Homo-oligomer: A and B are copies of this chain.
Amino acid sequence: MFSTEVQYALRGLSELACRPSDKAVRLDELVHGTQMPREFVAKVFQKLVKAMLIHSSRGRGGGFALARDAGAITLMQIVEAIDGPRPFDRCVVGLVECNDLMPCPQHDLYKPIRQALQQYLNQTTLADLAVSLRAKLAWQRLRFQSPLANSAPIADVPSDAVASAPDRPTEPAGN
């Protein structure tokens, strides 16, 4: 549905949104325990910086931080930051281009789906994603191991604890 690049953007930003917002998060820290390739995510984050969805600071104590509240960053903005403006504008049928004078029936048929998708992307924010991720990770900790001993690598926790947190268990497959 989305390119890996976009998925890394979504996941990476979610991780970012899950941490305390008062200080920058290093990329190493952010990627830790994830399956995401650090270097590639770095590239993706450059695009997000340029799109001004996040801020970056170099040197010691540097890292990334959301440029504004997670609730003010829509998924559409994220997708556009990666894929460029106005994605999903193409006709589903592809190869048979449509235009305003002669939109093909499929064009119209598909319209509601496209609109639903765009509405979803415009209305869902990074805050929603973060809630989701937090719940998911909490559940995994509960499900798998770590009987609450040093068990909160997420938010409202000193960063040293985060840095030394054990790797997360491999996530179960399936829908």
A positions within 8 Å CB-CB of B: 1-2, 4, 7-8, 10-11, 14, 34-36, 88-100, 102, 104-106, 109-110, 112-113, 116-117, 120, 124, 128-129, 131-133, 135-136, 139, 171-175
Could you list some 11 contacts between A and B, CB below 8 A? A2-B94, A4-B94, A96-B132, A96-B133, A98-B175, A100-B174, A102-B136, A102-B139, A105-B132, A105-B135, A110-B120
Further 10 A-B residue pairs, CB within 8 A, beyond A1-B90, A1-B94: A10-B95, A14-B96, A34-B95, A89-B175, A96-B133, A109-B124, A109-B128, A113-B120, A116-B116, A117-B117
CB-based contact A8/B93 at 8 Å: no
Q: Quick one: copies of this chain in the complex?
A: 2
For A135, the chain B residues whose CB sits under 8 A away are: 102, 104-105
CB-based contact A173/B105 at 8 Å: no
CB-based contact B96/A11 at 8 Å: yes
For A113, the chain B residues whose CB sits under 8 A away are: 113, 116-117, 120
CB-based contact A106/B93 at 8 Å: no
A7 with B94: in contact, given A102-B139, A105-B132, A106-B132 (CB under 8 Å)? yes
Shortest beta-carbon distance from A17 to chain B in Å? 13
